[in-house]
Amino acid sequence: MTQDALTKLAELGLTLPAAPAPAANYVPFVKSGNQLFVSGQISNGPDGLITGKLGADMSVEEGAAAAQSCALSLIAQLNAAVDGDLSRLVRVVKLVGFVNSTADFTDQPKVINGASDLMVAVFGDAGRHARSAVSAASLPLGVAVEIEAIFEIN
């Protein structure tokens, strides 16, 4: 699956970034048995942090793109955890997405679809997962989206 996942990313016009370093006192991932828990990855693109508040100064489409950037970082952390062997992925178990949004914004699921859709596009059925998509009054550094993940690996 390593080549397949990287090929799928390339077909989508995406490149796997380097796994981001932690921004505070935590580790980027923890392996426990056959589960990999990846710390929240914030929306970050080639031009830097993707900031904004959904329902105020960002569209749902912009939010979904921010969520996709989080998914790329999650895959990068997965890749680091399995020493570059993405074929060790059994499945994406769960995503938990936080959306920096106004009190009346209700399209958090549509925003987090940016990450969910990428997981399925890259990993096929193994990318289908359980999920939460919740609103946050603010997120670290003013980012638009933060997503954490649980993966099953072998």
Q: What is the pLDDT of residue 3?
A: 64
User: Domain with 81 in it: what CATH number?
Assistant: 3.30.1330.40
Domain with 83, as residue range(s), is 2-13+34-153
When pLDDT is cut at 50, 70 and 90, the band that residue 48 belongs to is very high
In the chain, % of residues over pLDDT 70: 98
Give one word for 54, left, alpha or beta, with left for phi > 0 and alpha for psi -120 to 50.
Answer: beta
Range 41-54 average pLDDT = 96
- Residue 66 CB contacts under 8 Å (≥ 6 apart), including other chains: 43, 45, 50, 52, 58, 111, 114, 143, 144, 145
In the chain, % of residues over pLDDT 90: 97
- 3 state DSSP class of 107: coil
Number of domains in the chain: 1
Range 19-37 average pLDDT = 96
Question: Does residue 27 sit within a domain?
Answer: no
When pLDDT is cut at 50, 70 and 90, the band that residue 23 belongs to is confident
Exposure letters 97-134 (e unless 16+ CB within 10 A, then b): bbbbbeeebebbebbbbbbbebbebbbeebbebebebe
Q: What is the pLDDT of residue 120?
A: 97
Question: Does residue 146 sit within a domain?
Answer: yes
Q: What is the mean pLDDT of the chain?
A: 96
Contact between residue 108 and residue 134 where contact means Cβ atoms under 8 Å apart: yes
Question: Does residue 21 sit within a domain?
Answer: no
* Bridge partners for 146 per DSSP: 42, 98
pLDDT at 1 over 80: no
Tens of pLDDT along 109-140? 999 999 999 999 999 999 999 999 999 999 99
